[in-house]
């Protein structure tokens, strides 16, 4: 079975299971979405959704957020982890949005990745889910599944992203990013499936007997 053959099977199963995957991070506009995605780094979406209502009650736009102290922001977002770094980035990017973008979240990879705390993965999520541009955000979870399913031989998330973009049509990228995440949470968890138990793993590798060993990003 070729990599493209496996990709077709994965796409069909995921599309049937999650035909219209929702965005798991609660938000009400592009700014709140940007902050939520930033906070989700090394943190669960569930935890982020518990924290953001408290933060946005204090400040729901770049202007009001820029007026908060880092200490105040940190006091709210601390449960998300990496608090000092994230609180500094949130305040700084709010100021930059006001100064350089009229308070609006920019709609390009280049401008997004210039913002403090916004890396390529975060920018990809914004471009795909907020602006509808084809992108395939790859975090450690997507990277893990892509390896288990034989869709990449990449040792890092950037190589995995390139590999996934080669074998899936651009019009499917935005949904696939979310479908991978939902399937991983529900059926192919890091410490439960091990490449042996879920329907996709068994369909792609019916003769696999040993625990799949991942290449860490």
- Classify residue 16 as exposed, middle or buried by CB count within 10 Å of its CB (0-12, 13-18, 19+): exposed
Cα–Cα separations (whole angstroms), residue 116 to 85, 89, 119? 10, 5, 8
Give the three-class secondary structure for 13: helix
Q: How many angstroms separate the CA atoms of 93 and 28, rounded?
A: 18
Per-residue pLDDT of 2-46, as tens digits, reads: 999 999 999 999 999 999 999 999 999 999 999 999 999 999 999
Catalytic residue among 86, 121, 163, 175: 121
Asked if residue 135 lies in contact with residue 127, where contact means CB atoms within 8 angstroms, the answer is yes
Q: How many angstroms separate the CA atoms of 197 and 189, rounded?
A: 10
Domain ranges for the chain, please list them: 3-21+136-204, 30-130
Catalytic residue among 78, 99, 139, 175: 139
Residue with tokens 């913002």: 115
What confidence score (pLDDT) does residue 217 get? 60
> Matching CATH topology for 3-21+136-204 and 30-130?
no
pLDDT of 177 > 80? The answer is yes
Asked if residue 59 lies in contact with residue 49, where contact means CB atoms within 8 angstroms, the answer is no
For CA atoms 92, 98, 104, 110, the dihedral sign is: negative
Tell which wins on pLDDT, 155 or 117: 117
Binned at pLDDT 50, 70 and 90, residue 155 comes out as confident
pTM of the full structure = 0.93
Confirm or reject CATH 1.10.340.30 for domain 30-130, answering yes or no. Answer: yes
Active site residue 139: yes
- The maximal CA–CA distance of the chain, rounded, in angstroms, is 59
Fold of 3-21+136-204: Endonuclease Iii, domain 2 (1.10.1670)
């Amino acid at each position: 079975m070729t990599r493209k053959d496996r990709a077709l099977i994965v796409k069909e199963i995921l599309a049937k299971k999650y035909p219209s995957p929702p965005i798991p991070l609660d938000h009400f506009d592009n700014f709140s979405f940007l902050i939520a995605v930033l906070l989700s780094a090394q943190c669960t979406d569930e935890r982020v959704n518990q924290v953001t209502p408290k933060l946005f009650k204090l400040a729901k736009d770049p202007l009001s957020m820029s007026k908060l102290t880092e200490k105040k922001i940190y006091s709210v977002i601390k449960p998300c982890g990496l608090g000092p770094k994230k609180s500094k980035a949130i305040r700084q990017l709010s100021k930059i949005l006001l100064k350089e973008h009229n308070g609006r979240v920019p709609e390009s990879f280049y401008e997004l990745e210039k913002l403090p705390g916004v890396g390529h993965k975060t920018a990809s999520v914004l471009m795909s889910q907020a602006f509808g541009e084809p992108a395939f955000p790859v975090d450690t979870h997507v990277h893990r599944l892509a390896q288990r399913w034989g869709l990449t031989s990449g040792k890092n998330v950037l190589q995995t992203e390139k590999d996934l973009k080669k074998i899936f049509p651009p019009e499917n990228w935005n949904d696939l990013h979310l479908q991978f995440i939902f399937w991983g949470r529900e059926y192919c968890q890091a410490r439960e499936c091990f490449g042996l138990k879920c329907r996709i793993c068994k369909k792609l590798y019916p003769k696999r007997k040993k625990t799949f060993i991942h290449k860490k990003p």
